[in-house]
Amino acid sequence: MSKRALSGVVATVILTALALTSISIIYIYIERTISLSNQEVFCNNQKINENIRILRACYLSDNELLVIVKKTSQDTKLMRFIFSNKTNEAIFEMKNKKCLDIREKNSEYGKECIINFNGIKKYVFNIEKGYTKVNLEEEFENNEKPCFMSSKNIEKTCES
């Protein structure tokens, strides 16, 4: 077999491997995106689409905790964040009213809490260090009580 014929075979094998790898990466990305959005959740005996989740929770300082939330609907009446560790629990409720102990990142405490949005919001909570988990509950306009929507372990620092 000549060297020319061999290099053509090698080139074909390399191109095929690259194509298969690219297709696999795209498939995994699409599959993950579809599985992470609009998962069905049962709340108060009703099937609803999961429209909110915590992307990250971490401490900015000894008394400020950052929670990044992704939301895809605007029919929220109340958002409740429940911070916990082995012995304590702290509950923060947000409505479209002023929030004294919650602010949006790059904002001040005492401003209105925006809970009806599409996209990503970064909330900062005035809470001491030591909590290890945050749960998020949401109450909709047509529900009588909040529904559990998301949970995240709290990182010790936001660095990295």
**pLDDT score recorded for residue 35:** 52
Spans of the chain below 50 pLDDT: 36-38
CATH number, position 84:
2.60.40.10
**pLDDT score recorded for residue 132:** 93
**Residue 44 is assigned to a structural domain of this protein:** no
- The total of structural domains in the chain comes to 2
**pLDDT score recorded for residue 7:** 76
- Are 55 and 82 within one domain? yes
Collapsed DSSP state (helix, strand, coil) of residue 32: helix
**Residue 90 is assigned to a structural domain of this protein:** yes
What's the domain range around 18? 1-36
- Are 126 and 74 within one domain? yes
- Are 114 and 62 within one domain? yes
**pLDDT score recorded for residue 52:** 82
- Are 73 and 98 within one domain? yes
- Are 56 and 122 within one domain? yes
**pLDDT score recorded for residue 47:** 64
Phi, psi of 50 (to 5 degrees): -65, 115
**pLDDT score recorded for residue 48:** 64
**pLDDT score recorded for residue 57:** 94
**Residue 159 is assigned to a structural domain of this protein:** no
